[in-house]
Amino acid sequence: MTAGNSDNIRDLIVIGGGSAGMAAAIRGAALGLKVTVFDAAGEDFDKPCGEGLMPPAVTALELLGVKGFESRPFRGITYVNEAGQKIHATFAGDGVGVGVRRRVLRMALWSRARDLGVEIIHRRAAEVRETTDMMVVEGLKARYLCLATGIRDTLLRDLDLNDRRPKKSRPHRTGLRRHARVNPWSDMVEVYWSEHGELYVTPVAPELVNIAILSWQPFTFDEAMNWFPAVSAKLKDVTWDDTASGVSPLAHRGRSLNRGRILLAGDAAGFLDAMTGEGNALALQSGIAVADVIAENSIDTYSARWRKITWRYWVMTEIGLWFTRPGMPRRFSLWVLFRLPILLNGSLRFLSNEVH
């Protein structure tokens, strides 16, 4: 779609058509706002992801009216150590997660946005100006701008919205994922731990599982599969649906959550690691919060709302990274966790509690 009349003042321009940006757009349109989204990657972009949506993400999608997409429910997480010992952790309350291929989720979000009249412009937005009473993006005017550009784009840096604090000296984490054509063998997401990293198995469709691997060391997908012999054996003769694709480094911090008429949502506002599988939940919830504060004319409350949504994630991810980081006696950490299953179970219940 091409840009409309530039004298036409929108309520909200969103840059980024991922989970956060589309949540802001859908919620905004449902609340009566006039919304335009710029996205560089297109509707069927298959972003590298573990593809497990935690219960708060499922609730957020229900609120947005995004439904009818192909997915597989899961009841919780099964943690497996190198000796094959398993711990099953289930969600708080009646919580259910869903596995969904990233491209499928994205197409469902875009379709819902279009149904609600959101204008989607398929190109990268690079030119952003702020006047006293409005934002101007690629010549289009709006009262507010939501930046939901994820962790990779340079726009935040260009707008001086990236964190300028010196980076901590810890090494980077890398994540890779690949899809295998196989019948899911569990109704749980499985997390396999090895000395080198973690492997996540997420059922996403009747004949498809997502295999995602996270590690502190650089790796190729094939070599990392050797770290997890139990999974390699299951997938020995499998047909792979795509090539491995990933992200490094995983961590990113925004400098501020809002400045003037600009609000940051999703990974653009801050992302630490994918280990808790919450990125989409936080992206959807923060996108919804952006639209809510604009509709309520209370954008000064956004930072507090964002902190309420994300604080558990920051606390639990920092703890999780500490347990897994190199230099730590990782084997000892795993030994403790598998002798005290209440730690893993309690963490998952803590994280899957809904924010009200």
Ligand X SMILES: Cc1cc2nc3c(=O)[nH]c(=O)nc-3n(C[C@H](O)[C@H](O)[C@H](O)COP(=O)(O)OP(=O)(O)OC[C@H]3O[C@@H](n4cnc5c(N)ncnc54)[C@H](O)[C@@H]3O)c2cc1C
What are the residues binding ligand X (CB under 6 A)? 15-21, 38-41, 45, 47-53, 57, 124-125, 148-150, 153, 155, 175, 177, 212, 246-247, 250, 266-268, 271, 274, 277-281, 283
Compare residues 82 and 153 and give the one whose CB is closer to ligand X: 153
Kindly state the smallest distance separating residue 57's Cβ from ligand X, in Å. 6
- Between CA 13 and CA 203 the distance in angstroms is 35
- Between CA 290 and CA 302 the distance in angstroms is 7
18 near 37, Cβ under 8 Å?
A: no
Kindly state the smallest distance separating residue 248's Cβ from ligand X, in Å. 9
- Between CA 68 and CA 226 the distance in angstroms is 37
Structure token digits, residue 242: 């795509």
Compare residues 31 and 40 and give the one whose CB is closer to ligand X: 40
Compare residues 84 and 276 and give the one whose CB is closer to ligand X: 276
Kindly state the smallest distance separating residue 266's Cβ from ligand X, in Å. 2
Kindly state the smallest distance separating residue 83's Cβ from ligand X, in Å. 25
Compare residues 11 and 267 and give the one whose CB is closer to ligand X: 267
Q: Residue 17, SS3? A: coil
Compare residues 45 and 323 and give the one whose CB is closer to ligand X: 45
Kindly state the smallest distance separating residue 218's Cβ from ligand X, in Å. 14
Strand partners, 282: none
- Between CA 142 and CA 167 the distance in angstroms is 34
As a whole number of Å, the CA-based R_g of the chain is: 20
* Torsion over CA: 49, 53, 56, 61 (sign): positive
**Starting at the edge strand that comes first in sequence, how are the strands of the sheet with 97-99 ordered?**
52-53, 97-99, 72-74
Compare residues 4 and 336 and give the one whose CB is closer to ligand X: 4
Kindly state the smallest distance separating residue 249's Cβ from ligand X, in Å. 10
DSSP state of 225: H
- Between CA 142 and CA 128 the distance in angstroms is 11
Structure token digits, residue 82: 């190198």
